[in-house]
Amino acid sequence: MTSSDANPTAPNPTAAVLIIGNEILSGRTKDANLPHIAEKLGEIGIRLREARVVPDVPEEIVDALNALRARYTYVFTTGGIGPTHDDITSECVARAFGVPLERNADAVERLERHYAGRQQLNEARLRMANVPAGGILVDNPISAAPGYQIGNVFVLAGVPNIMQAMLDSVLPRLRGGPPIHARTVSCELAEGRLAADLGALQERYPQLEIGSYPYFRRGDFGVSLVLRGTDEAALDTAAEELCGIVRTLGGTPALTIGAKG
């Protein structure tokens, strides 16, 4: 147990995700990595505070990475570490840190074992062994080509199942914080009827994040009101107050514990 685990008011580490790739911005590929990263980080008390999507343009990648790594405890990049000409993430990370890009001997060995006997380890695939000097490899149990950590930046694959496997190996390296809990109050009221009371509730509980998320289900409108924070006692009290507000306004609240907003 760390000191932050023992103190529910201790600040939580923060994180950002940098999604790299023209295919995301064009709409051809739908990003599936951001929700997974956010959920996994939240489970260990790391708050995801920002996500950016940038094209395969070196200057934009370098600028975004430098801005994010200076602002947050951790940065996770996804995409651009494959074998093709437009996989330029590693070159950009090396530029951002001001270090050379090197052919990593350990990464080469991993690729050689993976492709042994198949005569498929060509120069294009060996590009996936290029790592900025000082980088610490991140395991890839699916296709062998590793990601890596340099400073507070974790460079991961863009393919979702590979990214998820890499993230699993990274999580034990991270310093977490108090777990982030959630309470959700759902009701059939419109946001406009709740807005004033919801704002007042947020003022009474500044240590919590309170969000309003309207929905349309089975022909009916409603709203899910999500409270998130590290102080479970405050969450329970605020959720009960919120249920009372909903009843006063003529709604029927449904409280869910642990639902993610």
Q: What is the CATH number of the domain that holds 214?
A: 3.30.70.260
Picking from 126, 141, 173, the residue at the C-terminal end of a domain is 173
Spatial separation of the C-alpha atoms in residues 175 and 134, rounded to whole Å: 20
Spatial separation of the C-alpha atoms in residues 245 and 89, rounded to whole Å: 50
pLDDT at 7: 41
Picking from 154, 173, 192, the residue at the C-terminal end of a domain is 173
Taking residues 88-114, report their average pLDDT. 97
Domain span at 248: 181-257
pLDDT at 44: 93
Say how many domains are in the chain: 2
pLDDT at 119: 66
Is the same domain home to 143 and 205? no
pTM: 0.86
Per-residue pLDDT tens over the stretch 4-32: 333 434 478 999 999 999 999 999 999 99
Q: Do residues 245 and 202 lie in contact, with contact meaning Cβ atoms separated by under 8 Å?
A: no
Is the same domain home to 213 and 245? yes
pLDDT at 89: 98
Taking residues 57-82, report their average pLDDT. 97
Buried b (16+ CB within 10 A) or exposed e, 207-227: ebebeeeeeeeeeeebbbbbb
Spatial separation of the C-alpha atoms in residues 149 and 159, rounded to whole Å: 18
Picking from 147, 173, 199, the residue at the C-terminal end of a domain is 173
